[in-house]
């Protein structure tokens, strides 16, 4: 019987040291499963946690890794939907950078048909985040106009493809010509290279001129530009702040246009909320993945002991799609 698992631990926030450490297997609660991990997604929150700014919720593994795919090794006594040997993926609160990871049954799903373990590991964090913020929180409706910042990130690509299900007019911002080309092929209506032009001026001076919903990872000086681009009753959803978390805003504009400015983080939400997202994905998104109408784009794949290279790739910001670890 397996009793230990190999986990990846950063010894410093600057990636100067990484060690693979043997630890006891995670102890399962009655409604949890143990997954022998095949692949784990690498995400921006992993870097923020590594830097000491995004600690794991109390009671959860401090090891990095929020999404995994693999094969079920063991099930808790109250688990009903899964059996040992099932091929699954899961959203977890930590512990993904390891040979074995536990997950609550309500956040585990059978891998959609026609995709690999590597592709399956790209689904949980990005598609949960995209759906919960542009559909549930952002209340995207058919044929509305949406601006998605960071269109070639994992969440950005997921958001673009979900928005296409709503026949949205999609605008996105990216940082180089290669990313512009990718987004055009993905079906984005207007892609703006923010290193060559001002996205606010580009949109404001176009025939579109304004949007109904904005998904923003950037924060900082983007906030007022976003506010000025929104239509009456528009919604701004913030899920990151790479340019800073503070900005001075004019409340009069928000009041006159009846704007909704909101934001969220997924990790601290309870399992009940997250399972509602999963149920929607199973109903609306997974069938499109199986038909290849929604695609999983992988930028690069690294072995677990090359995790530093994976984090450097994400830090560089040159990736298009997901970065994955093979365990």
Tokens (6 digits) for 294? 């929604």
Q: How far is CA 145 from the centre of its chain?
A: 21
- Distance (Å, whole) CA 228 – CA 183: 24
Q: What residues does each domain of the chain span?
A: 4-123+267-326, 129-263
Burial class (CB in 10 A: 0-12, 13-18, 19+), 291: exposed
- Distance (Å, whole) CA 257 – CA 62: 43
Query: What string of pLDDT tens digits covers the 327 residues of the chain?
Result: 565 777 888 766 677 667 888 889 999 999 999 999 999 999 999 999 998 888 889 989 999 999 999 999 999 999 999 999 999 999 999 999 999 999 999 999 999 999 999 999 999 999 999 999 999 999 999 999 999 999 999 999 999 999 999 999 999 999 999 999 999 999 999 999 999 999 999 999 999 999 999 999 999 999 999 999 999 999 999 999 988 899 999 999 999 999 999 999 999 999 999 999 999 999 999 999 999 999 999 999 999 999 999 999 999 999 999 999 999
This model's pTM is above 0.85: yes
- Distance (Å, whole) CA 256 – CA 30: 52
Is 3.40.190.170 the CATH classification of the domain at 4-123+267-326? Answer: no
Give the pLDDT score at 122: 98
Closest CA to 326 of 81, 120, 82, 180: 120
Three-state DSSP at 155 gives: helix
Tokens (6 digits) for 75? 């099930």
Q: What is the DSSP letter of 285?
A: I
- Distance (Å, whole) CA 280 – CA 239: 20
The CATH architecture to which 129-263 belongs is 3-Layer(aba) Sandwich (3.40)
- Distance (Å, whole) CA 80 – CA 69: 19
Tokens (6 digits) for 143? 């044929």
- Distance (Å, whole) CA 51 – CA 75: 33
User: Are 4-123+267-326 and 129-263 equal in CATH topology?
Assistant: no
Q: Output the DSSP codes for 198-240.
A: -HHHHHHTSSS--EEEEEES--TTHHHHHHHHEEEEEEEEE--
Closest CA to 26 of 69, 86, 76, 70: 76
Three-state secondary structure of 136-153: HHCCCCCCCEEEEECCCC
CB distance 159 to 131 below 8 Å: no
Our separate counts of H helices and E strands in the chain read 11, 15
Give the pLDDT score at 10: 79
């Amino acid at each position: 019987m397996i009793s230990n698992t190999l986990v990846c631990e950063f010894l410093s926030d600057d990636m100067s040291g990484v060690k693979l450490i043997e630890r006891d297997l995670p102890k399962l609660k009655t409604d949890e499963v143990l997954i022998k991990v095949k692949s784990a997604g690498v995400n921006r929150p992993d870097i923020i946690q590594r830097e000491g700014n995004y600690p794991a919720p109390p009671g959860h593994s401090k090891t990095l890794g929020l999404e995994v795919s693999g094969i079920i090794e063991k099930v808790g006594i109250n688990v009903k939907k899964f059996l040992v040997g099932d091929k699954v993926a899961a959203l977890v609160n930590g512990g993904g950078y390891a040979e074995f990871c536990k997950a609550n049954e309500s956040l585990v799903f059978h891998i959609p048909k026609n995709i690999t373990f590597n592709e399956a590991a790209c689904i949980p964090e990005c598609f949960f985040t995209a759906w919960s913020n542009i559909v549930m929180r952002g209340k995207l409706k058919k044929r509305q106009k949406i601006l998605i910042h960071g269109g070639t990130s994992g969440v950005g690509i997921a958001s673009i493809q979900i928005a296409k299900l709503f026949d949205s007019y999609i605008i996105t911002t990216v940082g180089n010509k290669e990313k512009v080309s990718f987004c055009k092929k993905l079906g984005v209506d207007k892609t703006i290279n923010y290193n060559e032009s001002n996205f606010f001026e580009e949109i404001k001076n176009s025939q579109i001129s304004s949007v109904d919903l904005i998904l923003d990872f950037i924060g900082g000086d983007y906030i007022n530009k976003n506010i000025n681009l929104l239509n009456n009753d528009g919604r701004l959803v913030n899920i990151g702040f790479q340019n800073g978390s503070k900005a001075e805003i004019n409340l009069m504009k928000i009041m006159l246009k009846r704007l909704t400015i909101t934001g969220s983080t997924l990790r601290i939400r309870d399992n009940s909320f997250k399972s509602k997202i999963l149920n929607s994905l199973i109903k609306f998104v997974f069938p499109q993945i199986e038909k290849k109408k929604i695609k999983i784009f992988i930028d690069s794949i690294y072995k677990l002991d090359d995790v530093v290279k994976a984090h450097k790739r994400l830090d560089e910001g040159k990736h298009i799609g997901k970065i994955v670890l093979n365990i």
